[in-house]
Amino acid sequence: MAKLFGTDGIRGVANQYPMTPEMALAIGKAVASYFKSKSSLRIVIGKDTRQSGDMLEYALAAGIGSMGGDACLTGVMPTPGIARITTQIGACAGIVVSASHNPYEDNGIKVFDGNGFKLSEAVEQALESRILDCLNASTGGRSIGRCDAIMDALEYYEDFLVSTVPSMSLKGLRIVIDCSNGATFQAAPDILSRLGADVSVLSDRPDGININAGCGSQHPEALKKAVIAHKAHAGFAFDGDGDRVIAVDETGDTLTGDQALTICAIHMKEVGRLSGNRVVGTVMSNMGLKTALKKQGIRLSLAQVGDRHVMEMMKAEGAVLGGEDSGHTIFLDKHTTGDGILSALQILEAMQNAGKPLSALSRIMTVFPQILINIPVDVQPDIQTIPAIRDAVKQVEDLLGDEGRVLIRYSGTQPLCRVMVEGPSFEATRTGAETIAAAVRASIGH
């Protein structure tokens, strides 16, 4: 049987293995039996706006109840909100039903421990074994739990985020946000309005099937136009579950996640929050990130792709800031996981502290030309065992020399091979990426 957990929970097409009610029931049983303790029988469950969310949410709750656990339902809630509420009410675990930026046909299940952190690989492996056992078991525990709604969950989450910027006022700022018809559609406009901003909102009418559909962090085109039309100071596009954000400056230009990370790193150093003057990125981080941070006396460490790996390295090295170029940023001195709304607030705080527009701040980091090509694949063998791909990579690396780099990896959430090339010019970078991508398609693509 295929491995259940990918880089960010369990994902798949809703109502197909492994995203079936039967599997969700088993996951609920397994999480309850693994995390349930004498101090807490409660497990928080939240979801994004996909139409399949109800089906999986109720199956999870049934599994939890069958093992004597109490399911605490928040309804639609950004993923980082579940992490926060889990710790607030002293629950033993939190579960999110979401497939993040994936299309509505997909769904997923993410698990947080009682401290609001995503699970380590070791815990995932232990939990996966237990899930498969529960999938084949016909009975639950001797006791039966209850299912209750947390009526003020959204209000608490909003209060928490506002408390992270206690002295900030956004009066006089015009901000446009794109909620991706996802989990931030209520919280994001509420929070920015409470802080005094003049907020214009896009994609805040979820209908169960329009989540991430031509909007949000993966599709910022409408946001860019709206920022210019409203003469806004900044724009922010969230993904479907609200754990990442992409920023747009006042000229309509999109910032990369690495540019936003640079802005926040410099701001945090200036105000004395950047522990150890260290930031954690990933192997996919742009080469310009290291160059920009080095000029500011900030060290950069690189983790494997995935916010869990970023978090693990942050803890190991005592860093409080880390992130991915995708816009997933972790402020460990504020929260236990990546939070798109929190990231937007931190960027706005950096703008106010510097007294400069976002376009000026973004120029602190020069983005090296980077091409990323995703190739659908049927199988995922070790890249080094495929001569044609190995030879193509060597050819491109020899041409780029010290002025570029190549990175090939499989997606942890979709059947894709990701080919990333950075180089000294756009043409050289594009040619290199296309050369390797052609070899991948010919060898393992479909």
Q: How far is CA 75 from the centre of its chain?
A: 19
In the chain, the largest separation of any two C-alpha atoms, in whole Å, equals: 66
Q: Is 3 exposed, middle or buried (0-12, 13-18, 19+ CB in 10 A)?
A: exposed
Both tokens assigned to 157: 């989450």
Q: Is 44 exposed, middle or buried (0-12, 13-18, 19+ CB in 10 A)?
A: buried
CB 410 within 8 A of CB 417: yes
In the three-class reduction of DSSP (H, G, I as helix; E, B as strand; rest coil), residue 373 is classed as: strand
d(CA 255, CA 228): 15
Q: What is the DSSP string of 90-133?
A: T-SEEEEE--TTS-TTEEEEEEEETTS-BPPHHHHHHHHHHHHH
Both tokens assigned to 305: 């792709």
DSSP 8-state class, residue 217: G
- Active-site annotation holder among 52, 66, 100, 203: 100
In the three-class reduction of DSSP (H, G, I as helix; E, B as strand; rest coil), residue 387 is classed as: helix
Q: How far is CA 43 from the centre of its chain?
A: 22
* 372, β-bridge pairs: 420
d(CA 18, CA 397): 39
Nearest Cα neighbor of 135 from 69, 51, 59, 72 is 59
52 is catalytic: no
How far apart, in Å, do the first and last CA atoms of the chain sit?
Answer: 22
Residues annotated as catalytic are 100
